[in-house]
């Protein structure tokens, strides 16, 4: 059986979004990216978007209350009932606990957490290239370094949380997109 309720963990630039889009096609379940949803809120100019932008531009994580609300609304949509690929949520212990509670209320369990491991110098290079291509104001070197530190401090402990629950698989995220995709497919079986 192939897992269909997934969480992708990894630092900014590890390729979570790229791999989530590939999985979305192959598994037929939606990618749920809080990063994309938050950037859409920023682009809309809404109050929550302006609040999120102040954190994103400084390279900081958006507060849990904002992220949890966005994620819960999305997981309750009909297309997520057959499965989902979480990309960028949860990022903190409080968010992981909120996700566990939400999934319990929905009567489903997380089937697999894929932790993508990538060298930090490679991550910085990837994010700077992406910033040039996409013109992303939240991807300058100072903001990237700040996000790496935030990741290590707040998100890395989630690896232990999901290891303890028995759903964690760590994979090497270096190499080309196809090689990483193959490793992820093997981890879903």
Identify the bridge partners of residue 9 per DSSP, sorted by sequence position.
115
- Please state, in angstroms and as integers, the Cα–Cα distance from residue 172 to each residue in 152, 163, 175, 176, 177, following that order: 17, 16, 8, 11, 11
**Catalytic: 182?**
no
**Catalytic: 91?**
yes
Select which of 136, 145, 154, 163 is catalytic. Answer: 136
Select which of 5, 53, 112, 147 is catalytic. Answer: 147
CA-to-CA distance for 9 and 54, rounded, in angstroms? 24
**Catalytic: 147?**
yes
Both tokens assigned to 6: 């997934």
- Report residue 72: phi and psi, to 5°: -65, -45
Answer yes or no: are the C-beta atoms of 147 and 92 closer than 8 Å: no
Select which of 53, 91, 112, 183 is catalytic. Answer: 91
Give the CA count within 13 Å in the CB-facing half-sphere of 63: 8
Nearest Cα residue to 24 out of 96, 106, 107, 82: 82
**Catalytic: 16?**
yes
Select which of 60, 126, 130, 154 is catalytic. Answer: 130
- Please state, in angstroms and as integers, the Cα–Cα distance from residue 3 to each residue in 23, 52, 166, following that order: 11, 32, 13
Both tokens assigned to 107: 């009567």
**Catalytic: 22?**
no
Select which of 16, 22, 53, 183 is catalytic. Answer: 16
Active site members: 16, 91, 130, 136, 147
């Amino acid at each position: 059986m192939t897992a269909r309720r997934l969480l992708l963990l990894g630092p900014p630039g590890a390729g979570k979004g790229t791999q989530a889009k590939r999985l979305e096609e192959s598994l037929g379940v939606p990618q749920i990216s809080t990063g994309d949803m938050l950037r859409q809120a920023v682009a809309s100019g809404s109050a929550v978007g302006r609040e999120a932008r102040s954190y994103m531009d400084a390279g900081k994580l958006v507060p849990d209350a904002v992220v949890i609300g966005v994620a819960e609304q999305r997981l309750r949509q009909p297309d997520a009932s057959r499965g989902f690929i979480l990309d960028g949520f949860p990022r903190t212990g409080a968010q992981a606990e909120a996700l566990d509670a939400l999934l319990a209320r929905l009567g489903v369990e997380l089937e697999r957490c894929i932790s993508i491991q990538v060298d930090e110098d490679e991550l910085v290079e990837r994010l700077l290239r992406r910033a040039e291509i996409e013109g992303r104001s939240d991807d300058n070197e100072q903001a990237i370094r700040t996000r790496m530190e935030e990741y290590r401090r707040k998100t890395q402990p989630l690896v232990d949380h999901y290891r303890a629950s028995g759903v964690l698989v760590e994979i090497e995220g270096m190499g080309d997109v196809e090689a990483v995709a193959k490793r992820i497919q093997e981890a879903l079986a």
